Structure formats: structure tokens, C-alpha cells
A and B are shown apart, each in its own frame.
Chain A
């Protein structure tokens, strides 16, 4: 029987690791504070004089003002709305097609070359032709996100499903499990960690791609906000939006990790 953690030599190691983790977190925070201070000094001292390099204090003031006015909140809301829909569409399609191709060699041989040809295409280069077919509004931006999300999820799902040990299926067959039980108790749990790895990679990419699409066309969203502030020479407002993008990305990633740990509890415990 495994001894309780607090009565074993592991307790000291675990305590050290926890302290270290917290310390690491603090260290990371101090690094950010230090970098921001350097930024403030470089802008205030005249070392860098540019409208595109405002002091951090000005950026924070602009962020406070733009948040209070609701401009930034509304811009971010629009961006997240498009991103969530595109993410859901891309993830669902990627996972479904990845699973399908793992089950059918014929489907793999037919579709994989096309998918592999499309995968390296840089999404910003696709925006002008997408405008032709989908216009300047949400459908184009949602398609951009879905296209971005599709590939990491597809590839991870396919490889995850193909990597399932044949023994797992054999054991299920030995126990006389039905097809549905094998799918729900063996195949899906074994593939899900791969799917989630794809989803996590896609999350950051989805945010980047929706902002990029908004910067090219449209009249709303944080990407449009950044571009319009840049052209209006309002550097502090532009950076305020960029700070918000960074912060939102961080929060989304942390939230996704929590969700992943909850859904893949068996996987989290095993690593």
C-alpha cells in the first residue's frame, strides 16, 4: 500500500515542489513587472521616442479609459464570439474527420493528400480569396478560425486514434464488449488526450487568426480596433488593446488547462 504522502519522504519533495512552483510563479510575475518597468523607463527617459512606443503608465490609463467607455469590452466581445464559433466548427470537423480517417484506410488514402496540401497554407494569404466567397463579415472570419483550428485537431485526432494499442481492442473483444462499449470505454478515452493536445494548440492559433482577419477587413473586433488606433496615431490605445489580447489569451489557456484536467482526469493522474 502506498504510504500517505505526509508521512513519507515524498512529502518533503512535494512540499519543495509546491513552494518552488509558487516561487516560479512569483518569479515569472517579477519578470513581467521588470520588463514593464524597463519599457516605462525607455519611453520616459527619451531613450526611445516614438508615438508607437508610449509609456506603460499611459497604456494603462488608456486601457482604463477604453474599458470604462466599453469600447474595448465590446471589441473583445465581438472577437471572442467569432472565435468561439469558428473554434467549435473547426474542432468538430477536425475531430470527426480525424476519427473517420483512422477507421478507413480508403478515406485516408483519398483525403489525406488534399488535407496535407492545404495544411501549410498561411491563413493571412487566404483572407482576400475568402472575402470573395464569404464577404467581409462574420462568416469570413469564422471560416478563417475554423480553417486554422481544423488542422491541429485533425492531425492529433488521426494520430491519436491510430496510436491506440491493438491490445486494448483485443482485451475489449475478449470481454465481449459491444461496439458502443469499446468506443466509449476504450477508443474515445485513449484518443481524447491527443484531441485535447490539438485543441490547446488551436486555441492560441484561433485567437491570432481571428484578430488577423479583423485587421484586414470589417468594422468590429479587437483586430479592427488595433488597426484603427494604429492609423489614428493613438499608440497607447493600440497597446491597451494588445495588452488585453495577451491577457485574454493567457486566461483562455489557463481555463482550458483546468477544463482539460477535469475532463481527462484519468490522464492527468497518469502523468
Chain B
């Protein structure tokens, strides 16, 4: 039987490690990394997060992030409370509702926001032959929102009321974003609360039949926050440094993403994580704002609108919901 020398063994081990892409310093480095499991909704709003992950922002803070795609909303908050996720992205409406239900949550960073029309990445889209131009025209018509009692739904009701209609008499049903275009074209609904990338795709494919009559979230609640990162109060208490490192990394990436929305280095990670074709991203009419901070006054305005439409019992305690890393 052939004997293997020590040198050969070393070479073999080296080749093996190199084969799996692991070098000795990398192994040491990995052992010092802090692991975090983060729930992210795989949509455009999380663009800066995907950039942070792909371009090593988290690694530079010695954070090793495991991304868990979530649908946002209730399931994300449930996973956060259960300790399955350490940090989770969700819409701020969910966080406000969760606070009211007694969950001990803290917003640690803003994620996405929306500017007023024409830079609003959400809109009221109508079938052109529906005759809808303002909220006054929706009487007797059927509208659709991705989720009921969420921000697009609240803003649709605001649009109706602010433009001469009465949203208490409006018939708004739940149709998810990917199905809204079909529901509109087939006449099952007459107007929808849409957002990017669905908005651009629908308008470019059916500009003869579909049109935008108003901006939505950033227009009805100017410069509003849409989504944020939250942690539980207990996790924050025990892991302040880790959360702050996460926020530093994410917020640096948000600064970069905000300034480089259409660059290939921005589009590629988004396409990778969301599976969106790059051509679709390049053709977007509007982008979300990649924000870092949360204005308590903004949360109050959202809470007020939610309360007005029965999505919330009492006004949120906005200041108690925001951790210092999310304050300007």
C-alpha cells in the first residue's frame, strides 16, 4: 500500500479547502461573525437590504445575515415574537397594529418610503373606460387593494375622500398585486391600488386600456414611510450592539442605494433576490425611497388615518415604537 507523506496530506487538505472556497483566514473570520436571521419581504422596497447583503456591508460589521423571505404582516411579526427571526422587515401599519395588540416591538430602521406624484411608486390605476378620474367617480364601482387595512388600502380611502368621494360607501376588495392587472382588464374591478414593479409593467403592456389617475401612498401621506425593520424589545435589550451594528450597515447601504437607484450594482442584487427580470427593473417609472429614519409625526399621521378608517382603535404611541437608530 502506498504511503502518503505529511507534505502530501497538507497539499491534499489545502486543495480540498480551496475546492470548497474556504481559506484559513476565512475560517477564522467566520468564527468571529455574529449570526443574525433577518426576515425580509422579497420586494423592491428591500432593495437597499439586498445591496447591503450582496456588497458586504453586513460582513464589514462582522454580521453574518441569513435572509428568510417572509410575506410581511402578521406572519413576520409572529416569527419575530417566536424568536425565529431576530430582525424583521414589515410595513409600518403592521407594526403599529402589533404595538396596539400588546407586542413589545421596536422599529430600529426605516426601509422604504414614498414621495408624492409623479415620483410616487404607488398609484391608483384605473381601466380607462371605467370613467374614474377622482374619488367622486368610484360610487357603484369596485376597487381592489393588495391587503385590506394596510397602507395602500388606507391611502385608497384617503384618495376617495380627498377627491370628492365617500370611501365609507366604496366597495374595495382584496386582490393581490400580481392579479390586479387581470382583474382590471377583465372588468372584475374598476380601480386598483398598485405599486412598483406591477405599475410600470401594467402601464407599458396596456397603455391603451389602463391609466394612472393619482399617486397613492406618497401622495396621500406626503413622503410617508412604508416599511421598516423591527425587533422585539427583549432582543434589543440583550443585543443593543448587534442591532446598532446591523443598522449602521443597513443605513450605509441605504445611503448608497438612494443615490444609485438605476445602477447595475443596484439592479443586480435586487434581481437576484426578488427574481425580477433586470429589464423590468430598468423600466420602472418610479422607485421607492430607501430611507433610514422614521419620523414620529409620520407614524402619527398614518395612525390617524388608520384610526379614521377603523384599522386601529387608538392612536399609536409613536415615540415608544422608535429606537434611537431610527431617529433622525
Contacts and interface: CB of A to CB of B under 8 A. Distances in A.
Interface stretch (A79-87, A124-132, A195-203): A124-132
A50 interface: yes
A134 B82 CA distance: 8
A129 B78 contact: yes
A129 B75 CA distance: 8
A234 B75 contact: no
A116 interface: no
B182 interface: yes
Interface string B267-279: 0000000111100
Interface string A126-146: 011101111111000000000
Contact of A219 (B67, B78, B177, B198): B67
Interface in A217-236: 217-219, 224, 228-234
B70 A136 contact: yes
Interface string A213-257: 000111100001000111111100000000000000000000000
Contacts of A216: 71, 75
A232 B201 contact: no
A136 B68 contact: yes
B78 A128 contact: yes
A72 B78 CA distance: 29
Contacts of B8: none
Given A137-B84, A231-B43, A233-B197, A224 B75 contact: no
Contacts of A52: 178-179, 181-182
Given A128-B75, A131-B79, A230-B178, A51 B84 contact: no
Contact of A232 (B69, B74, B84, B277): B277
Nearest to A237: B275
A230 B206 CA distance: 19
B79 to A, nearest CB: 5
Given A50-B185, A217-B70, A224-B69, 8 more contacts: A128-B78, A129-B78, A134-B82, A217-B75, A218-B69, A228-B275, A233-B201, A233-B280
